[in-house]
Amino acid sequence: MKLNSRVFKDNRDAYLFVFPALLVFAFFTIYPTVSGFVTSLYKWDGFTEKTFVGLNNYIKLFQDSTFWTAISHNTYYAVFTVIAKVTIGFLTAVLLNGKFRGTQIYRTIFFTPMVMSFVAVGVLWSWIFNPTFGLANTILQHIGWSGAMPIWLGDPKLVLPALMFVDIWRWSGYHTVLYLAGLQSISVDIYEAAAVDGCNGLRKMLYITIPQMKAVIIMNFAICLMGAFNLFDLVYVTTKGGPYGSSEVLLTYMYKLAFAGRQFGYATTIGYVNLLFIIVVTTIQLRAMRKD
């Protein structure tokens, strides 16, 4: 007890400086998180008195076919966007890491989509994918497309691939920057020693670059995966989960339950199931990076 009291006295100034930040964190993060979880244990329409239902919302959720459909869409979206963004970002970073004229300009071009809001991106690509006057179908006409013009956001088979393309276009530059930071931290001496030993470009990539970049690759993979399960803005702006629920994802379903169906308790349950998944992914990422 005396030891703890002494430690507190020795670090009193530090605790005083940290306290305001902890207070803000508690008020804006911890309290809403706990309060939201409590709400998920109730049946509530947002206006009348809450009715405690315990874990019934969670039981109901796992019996909800729309919930599982939304998860399948998020998973499908995640598989392809994660692979594409991690791969494209890495290859682009390797190319842009070289010394050639206009390097900074190309880096800026690749990163520019990232600074745009997803709402603006959604509106922009809604016009591009418009079946009547959109740029996508105009390009198909100019290259001699002979079949019926695709209805990119109105065809259940095309809507998710179209949205995935937009997501990859926007985020690849962000992951490229992360990879560039990792590549530039690798000592040039390692490559020079490998060159002396007769190591060619491919072997340098396999035995030096990729192993040295393992932590960055894991981090990019986790960011992509969490992003795929936090998808909302792009889908809501472009399709609102349509057509016929073919682009419904977890967060758009949660939004509809809360603000259209007035099932705030049940909708909150989806948010906490999603939060649990993100915590698991983050924990795995941190352990993998610590081990590395």
For residues 233 and 252, the answer to whether their CB atoms sit within 8 Å is no
pTM of the model: 0.87
- Strand, helix or coil for residue 28: helix
* CA–CA distance, 139 with 131 (Å, rounded to integer): 12
Q: List the single range of 25-29, 120-124, 144-148, 282-286 with lowest mean pLDDT.
A: 282-286
Q: Could you tell me the pLDDT band of residue 238, with boundaries at 50, 70 and 90?
A: very high
Neighbours of 71 (CB within 10 A): 18
- Strand, helix or coil for residue 100: coil
User: 65-96 and 103-111 are packed helices; what angle lies between their axes, rounded to 10 degrees?
Assistant: 170
* Amino acid symbol at 252: T
In which element (H, E) is residue 51 found?
strand 51-52
Domains and CATH numbers, the chain: 1-39 (no CATH), 55-291 (1.10.3720.10)
Alpha helices by DSSP H, the chain:
2-10, 12-25, 31-39, 56-61, 65-96, 103-111, 118-128, 135-142, 159-184, 188-196, 201-204, 210-212, 214-228, 233-238, 250-259, 264-291
Contacts of 28 by beta carbon, 8 Å cutoff, 6+ apart: none
Give the rounded percent of residues in the chain with a pLDDT score beyond 70: 96
138-174 tens-digit pLDDT:
999 998 888 888 999 999 999 999 999 999 999 999 9
Q: Copy the structure tokens of residue 133.
A: 């006057």
